[in-house]
Chain A
Amino acid sequence: MPLPSIVSKPQWRAVAYAGAVLVLLPLLVLALSWNSLDSTIWNHLLETQMARLLGNTLVLAIGVIVGVVLLGVSLAWLTSLCNFPGRRWLDWALMLPFAVPAYVLAFVMIGILDFAGPLQTTLRGWLGSDFRMVSIRSTGGVIFVLVLVFYPYVYMLARGAFLAQGRGLMEAARILGHSPWQAFWRVALPMARPAIGAGAALAVMETLADFGAVSVFNYDTFTTAIYKTWYGFYSLQTATQLASLLLLFVLLALYAERRAQGSKRFPGSDKPRQGPLFQLRGVRGWLATGYCLLVLAVAFIIPLVQLFYWLFTSGSDFDERYWSLIRNTLTLGGIAAVTTVVVAMLLVLARRLQPIRRVRSAVALANLGYALPGSVLAVGIMFAFSVADNQLVVPLQRWLGVESPAPLLLGSLFALLLAYLIRFMAVASGPLDTALARIRPALPEAAHSLGHSGVSVFWRVYLPLLMPGLLSAGLLVFVDVLKEMPATLLMRPFGWDTLAVRIHSLTAEGNWPEAALPAITLVATGLLPVIVLIRRSAQSVGRGNAH
């Protein structure tokens, strides 16, 4: 029987290329910035900054990767494969830190742990005013905070992978003489490796793109150099050149990661896991609970307590504009989630169905937006759209006889949504990729052999099986858009202020206590999607694989 027609349709190639072009448009602006070099600035940077910045960035990236993998995998292992007191609610509660933006956790942690904060002040009261402890405003401190913010990516994806592996596999490993530890190292972990890799990649790309959190820490990374060149030297051109270098590093790192991983695919097993495998009894059980509770407390509960404390002891920021802030935040999140997930699904499908190198590269490029600092991406879009406005839109309006032609693309909601799409494509692709990989090739092939056309196969086979992944991807993008600040600041149309914008307004002037209200509101808005996300992903993994 010849290969099903859906595989060889060139439509999928076109889809992949179209997606890549859309995303590449602003990246093209980055590439074009190399047409001339400001040697004064470059010389200065290379002489005085580069070594330190690259060192800092490397240390930060490695620290975050190691941290999120250790934390995320250990927690995922415990909650998905072991049973211990409180597992049932810790399972989803450990995902809650995802609702907290990095820049919020940064100023809260510094507020609590710095010299002038409550912890050290109390300790100085007990132990004498000469008491000194490790400073939070250090490399270790930044890594600490970013690990707490980004471990949910690894946690969620690793947990999904462990849950999907099925009881039979682990039981087989035990029967063959492996201890639980060995079963973990030799079977579960390698099979979860793609998911863990995807989670770690998301975490490190966010770290590289982050500007808000590292600014609060005053920790200089490559990205802060981009901003310094832009805000200080006013050389947007050099800043975009630096940004394109950043992207190059990320591209190389991602490529290396893919090569190391190979093309292994681990489709889901026949029988979904019924319940946890390993009972942790007695002390070990309580140790597990304690560990999970500790992480939850440090990453979520204590920061919230500090925020509430600030809320009740300082002047409130509440005014009648809050409702529109909340409404704007939710609307932008919702629309962006839907559009991004749809486009990501098309690209991911295109790569699966037309796995030629060009398509794979196109899709890989489309995921690069995540490593790009939000403002730089926004500037790229702005310039691309300004050209489009001047060359296309305004002449088009004149042709149609519009009286005073005005630019439509620049400053429009569409531009902002495109920025979100490019920025968070990778976030949507991760879960979709994983979900797609779990669909055994036999299924669509069987459908084809039964006579279904390509579209029918899509609606009846791919879509239902992808639904959990689509939902996860949508919720992830929703929460990420909620938290997004730099691109929103730059590109939002009039009257579209969001909670993140309000937080920036207040923290830019060091008004941390006043920022507590929008920060809490933002976290609260993101909590429900996060809880839905994690609870669904547990149930539906089972459902998705049952047949």
Chain B
Amino acid sequence: MSVIRKLAALGLAVSTLGGVAQAEELVVYSARQDHLIKPVFDLYTEKTGTTFKYITDSEAPLLARLKAEGANTPADLLITVDAGNLWQAEQQGVLRAVDSATISANIPAKYRSADGYWTGLSLRARTIAYSTERVDPSELSTYEALADEDWAARLCLRTSRKVYNQSLTATMMESIGVERTTEVLQGWVNNLATPAFGDDTALLNAIAAGQCDVGIVNSYYFGRLEKADPSFPVKLFWPNQQDRGVHVNISGAGVTAHAKHPDEAVAFLEWLTTEEAQRVFADVNQEFPANESVAPSEEVASWGDFKRDDVNVEVAGRRQAEAIMLMDRVGWH
């Protein structure tokens, strides 16, 4: 019996090659890409000595992994790139409520979960991009106007499978109602110049090349292309400035329900909302800091100021399934 015990113990010891986590290490599951989070992690490590172990993947698999691991999960934090996904994580019980005065003070309530399960860290606007060669900005006004016949065969969209479009639809439904949104989306689909693209960069390049004249993209994709080529013949337009404002979405994080280092995780999350971190977090991807006292980078500021949609980003999650079904019904692939 004792021989078996020893052998089994040996086997277990050998297989535990990961080792025991030290107190100064945080484990992060991130849907935000590696090269966008590493700079922030490195900065924090320099500052405090805490090291990071992280895995990157899309949100749904990360969530599935968190649920499968349950109470045994090594993850301390979850970072995502869409509000809907954070809301979903909250619903599935993998996050814990954090009551932090720092976070509440730094981040506006509309970018945070009502009960403190997660907080936004940076914002991206999903807005209209137009060709500077073929479109005068005075022709543009609202998202809804893109459904007009004037834009027939001139519109490019990204796939409805991408969560960014689902969140846009969800918040639109919340603001103007399901029926009107259905009309608008149907109009968009009718105006498509080419089948929907798999990503925003290809969409922007299509506008530049002349395949279409307008499209709806996330601001930072435009930022990247503009940075690479300042003479890029496309510009951003901020729609709906007379009513609800531009749709914004967040990239944010939450502390996991079964975090092994909850205090360190909360400390890190709080630090992420401070100016020092916000600057790096947002600037590395040309996003807007969620902390409104932090100014965006120069390049981002050069796109102009704009009115943002005030709706709580949670809506993106609550109405995501509804939005997808709507998009399916109007034939937006």
Contacts and interface: CB of A to CB of B under 8 A. Distances in A.
Helix, strand, loop or mixed for chain A's interface? helix
Task: Assign chain B's interface to a size class.
Answer: 35 or more
B70 A402 contact: no
A510 B69 CA distance: 31
B206 A116 contact: yes
Contact of B72 (A379, A394, A413, A505): A394
A505 B53 contact: no
Closest 7 CB pairs of A and B: A510-B201, A510-B199, A116-B209, A116-B205, A386-B68, A231-B60, A115-B211
A234 B198 contact: no
A408 B15 contact: yes
B333 A505 contact: no
Contacts of A390: 70, 72
B166 interface: yes
Contact of B161 (A228, A382, A406, A490): A228
A182 interface: no
A270 interface: no
Given A228-B324, A383-B68, A412-B15, 12 more contacts: A116-B211, A217-B198, A218-B198, A231-B60, A232-B166, A379-B61, A379-B64, A408-B15, A411-B65, A489-B57, A508-B58, A510-B201
Interface string A385-397: 1100110001011
B43 interface: no
B33 A509 contact: yes
Given A114-B202, A389-B72, A400 B12 contact: yes
B39 interface: no
Contacts of A231: 58-60, 161, 163
Interface in A353-397: 375, 378-379, 382-383, 385-386, 389-390, 394, 396-397
Nearest to A314: B228
B88 interface: yes
A400 B194 contact: no
B50 interface: no
Interface stretch (A168-176, A492-500, A522-530): A492-500
A490 B61 contact: yes
A328 B58 CA distance: 21
Contacts of B325: 44, 48
Given A115-B206, A495-B53, A411 B198 contact: no
A545 B76 CA distance: 59
A512 B65 CA distance: 28
Nearest to A114: B202
B35 interface: yes
Point out which of A49, A137, A231, A494 has the most chain B C-beta atoms below 10 A from its C-beta: A231
A197 B237 CA distance: 55
Nearest to B27: A494
A509 B202 CA distance: 10
Given A44-B325, A218-B159, A505-B34, A236 B64 contact: yes
B136 to A, nearest CB: 20
A492 B34 contact: no
Nearest to B34: A505
B328 A508 contact: no
A49 B333 CA distance: 10
A74 interface: no
A216 interface: yes
Contacts of B27: 494
A385 B9 CA distance: 20
Given A410-B72, A505-B34, A215 B198 contact: yes
A322 interface: no
Contacts of B205: 116
A220 interface: yes
Interface in A117-169: 120-121, 129, 135, 137-138
A228 B75 CA distance: 25
A224 interface: yes
B72 A407 contact: yes
